[in-house]
Amino acid sequence: MKVGVPRETVPGERRVALVPEAVGKLTKAGTEVVVESGAGLGSGHDDESYRKAGATVADRNAAFGADLVVKVQKPSAEEIALLRDGAAIVATLQPLTNAETVRALAAKRATAFSMDMIPRVTRAQPMDSLSSQSNIAGYKAVLVAANSLPKFFPMLTTAAGTVTPARVLVLGAGVAGLQAIATARRLGAVVEAFDTRPVVKEQVQSLGGKFLEIDLGEQGEGTGGYAKELSEEAHRKEQELVAKHVKDADVVITTALVPGRRAPILVTADMIKSMKPGSVIVDLAAEMGGNAELTAPGQTVVREGVTIHGEVNWPSTVSVHASQLYARNVGSLLGLLVKDGALALDMNDEIVKGALITHEGNVVHDATKKAMGQA
């Protein structure tokens, strides 16, 4: 089997799907790897490092002409056209919100796996790129906030008097939120956190954060450990709680996402207006519309004296380690999918079933079919 690693072309994307470390493991196992020239430069890996790992460095057509293509971002229409008919592809397809991409892959008879659809079961943890990349986003969000905030994060006792610590509010205590809590605490901030899933309270407290509790009248946890969309009444209660704490926060980091949906609005324009001048919001849900009403996806803006960061690809800003971790996730998935140098799919395997989106000309993923309005 030949595995292709093309260069990512989405503006601002510096990651690569396989780093030389991961390529070396594949080539030692007898897999041929073709890397597009320049694919690893954004993450610190030149062509020679891939050659040393056993890969062939070639042009774009050769990388997309492989039996199995691995990417970070979903393929564009032009990239899908470069795939061989019936080839396999592994990427972050976001199939619930990218119907055209899914249709094009099915028309190409591609066997397409989506990294963001891998079920969160114990056996799949080494393949869980959502967690590995969210961990990076949570870390970087705090560093960006600390750099933007015109205050210290820690309490300082100086000859000129004591400086009180910054107050950080984290909304959503999934992987990104928990890393944000841990990083903010390491920098000395006082941290509060809220999540619609009471089960995360102990995790928040173990990191030194204060968990904000409220009776929403329903559970906020959906299938697979992900958050689910709340009823209007529960969402109203949620916003009331957030409003009480946002006005006293120096930094608000939002991370709330619901699979296949627009990110819920947790911080309204009125709440932002109530914040102290110079305060900072880092919206990690900006790619899906944002948790803050005044977030501008892809931009950093100042609204009502508050700096709002709406970057849509935080992992790419830490491209060396983001690529390393993503490549390990991909390598673990390939270990499941490839046997004796060929693609061997066990359709009864829960990981295969959860991540396989298109196969033999059909959309085979239940949630994707539902999102596309198919029976």
| 271-292 tens-digit pLDDT | 999 999 999 999 999 999 999 9
Query: What per-residue confidence (pLDDT) applies to 226?
Result: 55
pLDDT of 190 > 90? The answer is: yes
Distance CA 188, CA 183 (A): 9
Query: What per-residue confidence (pLDDT) applies to 261?
Result: 86
pLDDT of 222 > 60? The answer is: no
Boundaries of every domain in the chain: 2-117+318-365, 137-313
Distance CA 137, CA 120 (A): 19
Query: What per-residue confidence (pLDDT) applies to 234?
Result: 78
Percent of the chain, pLDDT > 90? Answer: 89
Query: What per-residue confidence (pLDDT) applies to 309?
Result: 98
Average pLDDT over residues 3-16: 97
**What one-character DSSP code corresponds to residue 362?**
E
Distance CA 242, CA 194 (A): 8
pLDDT of 160 > 80? The answer is: yes
Q: Are 81 and 59 contacting, i.e. CB atoms less than 8 angstroms apart?
A: no
Nearest Cα residue to 322 out of 41, 43, 23, 69: 43
Q: Indicate which residue of 60, 84, 120, 303 is catalytic.
A: 120
How do strand 156-158 and strand 161-163 relate by DSSP bridges? Answer: antiparallel
Query: What per-residue confidence (pLDDT) applies to 213?
Result: 87
Query: What per-residue confidence (pLDDT) applies to 187?
Result: 97
Query: What per-residue confidence (pLDDT) applies to 218?
Result: 60
Supply the mean pLDDT for the chain. 94
Residue 326 known to be catalytic: no
Q: Are 51 and 360 contacting, i.e. CB atoms less than 8 angstroms apart?
A: no
Residue 226 known to be catalytic: yes
Instruction: Give the start-end residues of each E strand in the chain.
Output: 2-5, 32-36, 56-58, 68-73, 88-92, 111-114, 156-158, 161-163, 167-171, 190-194, 210-211, 251-254, 280-283, 300-303, 306-309, 338-339, 342-343, 356-359, 362-363
- 124-157: per-residue pLDDT in tens? 999 999 999 999 999 999 999 999 999 999 999 9
**What one-character DSSP code corresponds to residue 205?**
H
- pLDDT tier at 45, thresholds 50, 70, 90: very high
Name 322's Cβ contacts closer than 8 Å, sequence gap at least 6: 15, 43, 132, 133, 136, 315, 316
Average pLDDT over residues 314-328: 98
Q: Indicate which residue of 131, 203, 239, 274 is catalytic.
A: 131
Name 362's Cβ contacts closer than 8 Å, sequence gap at least 6: 106
pLDDT of 223 > 70? The answer is: no
Distance CA 268, CA 257 (A): 16
Query: What per-residue confidence (pLDDT) applies to 220?
Result: 55
The CATH class of 137-313 is alpha beta
pLDDT of 73 > 80? The answer is: yes
Name 13's Cβ contacts closer than 8 Å, sequence gap at least 6: 42, 72, 73, 313, 316
**CA dihedral angle for residue 170, residue 141, residue 117, residue 228, rounded to 10 degrees:** 20
Helices H, strands E: what count in the chain? 13, 19
- pLDDT tier at 217, thresholds 50, 70, 90: low
Q: Indicate which residue of 59, 76, 125, 366 is catalytic.
A: 125
Angle, helix 129-148 to helix 175-186, in steps of 10 degrees = 40
The 3-state DSSP class for residue 65 equals coil
Query: What per-residue confidence (pLDDT) applies to 90?
Result: 98
- pLDDT tier at 211, thresholds 50, 70, 90: very high
- 82-123: per-residue pLDDT in tens? 999 999 999 999 999 999 999 999 999 999 999 999 999 999
- 242-261: per-residue pLDDT in tens? 999 999 999 999 999 988 88
pTM: 0.93
Q: What is the CATH number of domain 2-117+318-365?
A: 3.40.50.720
Average pLDDT over residues 160-164: 94
- 193-207: per-residue pLDDT in tens? 999 888 899 999 999
Residue 128 known to be catalytic: yes
Residue 125 known to be catalytic: yes
Query: What per-residue confidence (pLDDT) applies to 228?
Result: 58
CA 133 vs CA 142, 174, 178: distances in Å = 15, 12, 13
Count of C-beta atoms within a 10 Å radius of residue 270: 12
pLDDT of 178 > 70? The answer is: yes
Q: Are 299 and 310 contacting, i.e. CB atoms less than 8 angstroms apart?
A: yes
Fold identical between 2-117+318-365 and 137-313? yes
Nearest Cα residue to 185 out of 163, 168, 203, 200: 168
Distance CA 2, CA 268 (A): 50
pLDDT of 77 > 60? The answer is: yes
Average pLDDT over residues 306-325: 97
Average pLDDT over residues 293-311: 97
pLDDT of 225 > 70? The answer is: no
Q: Does 230 or 66 have the greater pLDDT score?
A: 66
Query: What per-residue confidence (pLDDT) applies to 159?
Result: 93
pLDDT of 233 > 90? The answer is: no
φ and ψ at residue 374, rounded to 5 degrees: -90, 155
